[in-house]
Amino acid sequence: MVLFCQLIYLPAAIAYKPDVHIKITENAVLESQRVQSALEGAGLLPAGGDLEQTTLKAMNLSEWIQYGASWEDNIQIWWGEPQDIAFCHFYNPVTNQGYTLSSGTEIGQSLIARSHDFTNEWSYEMAKKLYYAALIGDNSEILDGDITRMRPGWVPHLLGPITDMTEEDRDQYFAWTLQALGHTLHLIQDASVPAHTRNDLHGLLEPYEVWTNNKLKYLEENDIFIGDGSNPWTSWNQHTDIIVPDVFMDTNQLDASDTEPISGSGQGIAEYAYANFMSEGTIFTYDLPVKPDDSEFFTNYQSENFNLDVRPVNGRDMTFVYLRNKHPGGVEHLALAGVLHPHPISSAISYDVRWTTNDRKV
């Protein structure tokens, strides 16, 4: 029964593949001056030290965070309770809910709720408790939480009351703090996946997730992977009324009545993913992105709303028609609208309507 549940629910829980989560986390951590200064301030990293050279309980500091980013998906496999987690990696920034049924009933909890859930032993709230316990050498404040799933470095006596931690004990709690932060980074990363912001309970072959996994080599060869003309998310500190980590995902600016996406980088990653992209299972199921008039891609496909790409298929040139997202920060290939190709007998042009995101350019 457990195996059956895993086969049913596991694909829904996984957004980016584990190796992609690890690489995104590694790049983000190593490029962040804030991470460097915070670890130095905590005494975990010497001034000017290297995260990849400073070890803590057999792994370096960066690896502990990466481990947490990977383990967030692995929990359900290891512990055999996929139904508890599979639906907790979704968040719709318009409804402020996680995965919902057609009736509007939320299943599980949203990824933002999960990041604050004290019963989630790897939540952001638990990271703060673990850090505090390590600082004062006393873990009594976290004994009300279930931390029996901690791996690696799990030591039974550390789960009991300790009011006078040894240096080794404190190191373990510092390591678990970093791992919990990795779990939080995993949830933030999932909020950038269109399927997970648009309520799409997908399978293992979700096009965007397959594409990012295939591009893993690019991530490995490029420490900084911000594209030309894009802006890093640097405006989050302007939203002082929204707590961390929520502000990275949702700044509460996107509304169901909006007819255009939010412009600029002063928005949450979930808001950006929801309004500017579509998953294969949510093509025009929401008001954003806006669907063109049905006749437009038959009669006006050379307008600014579309991009044309001519390439040979089986010896014949075919014109692939892609819908553009024209708004600032939008994308040139939002979806494949259709394919123009010569009729095999007459001189007419046939239009094969596709409307799919499962295309190499999308």
pLDDT, tens only, 88-127: 899 999 999 999 999 999 988 999 999 998 778 889 998 9
Q: Are 314 and 344 part of one and the same domain?
A: yes
102 lies in some domain: yes
pLDDT at residue 302 tops 60: yes
Same domain, yes or no, for 223 and 332?
A: no
pLDDT at 229 over 60: no
Say if residue 237's pLDDT is above 70. Answer: yes
Average pLDDT on 325-336 reads 82
Domain boundary residue among 290, 308, 331? 290
In a shared domain, residues 188 and 326: no
Same-domain pairing of 142 and 229? yes
Mean pLDDT to the nearest integer, 344-359:
81
| Predicted local distance difference test score (pLDDT) of residue 189 | 96
Question: Coil, strand, or helix at residue 317?
Answer: strand
Query: Is residue 166, in this structure, part of any structural domain at all?
Result: yes
Residue 163 covered by a domain: yes
pLDDT (0 to 100) of residue 167: 92
CA dihedral sign of residues 243, 245, 248, 250: negative
What pLDDT shows up at residue 54?
87
**Assigned token pair, 77:** 């496999």
On whether residue 306 sits in a domain, the answer given is yes
pLDDT in tens, 151-189: 444 455 566 778 899 998 899 889 989 999 999 999 999
Q: Is 195 exposed, middle or buried (0-12, 13-18, 19+ CB in 10 A)?
A: buried
Question: How much is the pLDDT for 251?
Answer: 95
- Residue ending a domain, among 256, 274, 290, is 290
**Of 59-73, 227-241, 275-289, where does mean pLDDT reach its minimum?**
227-241
| Residue 264: both structure tokens together | 């600029």
Domain count, the chain: 2
- Say if residue 31 is in the same domain as residue 171: yes
| Claim to verify: residue 102 and residue 201 sit in the same structural domain | yes
Tell me if 362 is assigned to some domain: no
Do residues 266 and 351 share a domain?
A: no
Least confident of 83-97, 126-140, 225-239: 225-239
My answer on whether 349 and 301 are in the same domain is: yes
Considering the domain architecture, whether residues 73 and 195 belong to the same structural domain is answered as yes
Tell me: do 270 and 303 sit in the same domain: no
The sign of the torsion formed by the CA atoms of 34, 71, 280, 254 equals: negative
Is residue 265 predicted with pLDDT exceeding 90? no
Q: Examine the domain organization and report whether 252 and 339 are in the same domain.
A: no
What per-residue confidence (pLDDT) applies to 89? 93
Find the mean pLDDT for residues 125-142: 88
Put the strands of the sheet holding 316-323 in their side by side order: 306-313, 316-323, 335-342, 349-356
Q: Which domain holds residue 315?
A: 296-356
Report the range out of 101-105, 188-192, 342-346 with the highest average pLDDT: 188-192
CB 15 within 8 A of CB 190: yes
Tell me the pTM. 0.89
Please say whether the beta carbons of 263 and 327 come within 8 A: yes
Is 32 inside any structural domain? Answer: yes
pLDDT of residue 360 exceeding 90 = no
Is 361 within a domain? no
What does the block give as tokens for 206?
């979700």
* pLDDT of 270 strictly over 90: yes
Compare 14 and 205 and report the one with higher pLDDT: 205
pLDDT category at 2 given cuts 50, 70, 90 is: very low
Indicate whether 322 pLDDT > 70.
yes
Q: Are residues 63 and 171 in the same domain?
A: yes
Among 253, 274, 290, the domain boundary falls at 290
Whether residue 49 lies inside any domain: the answer is yes
User: Residue 78's pLDDT is what?
Assistant: 61
Contacts of 208 (CB under 8 A, 6+ apart): 193, 194, 195, 277, 279, 357
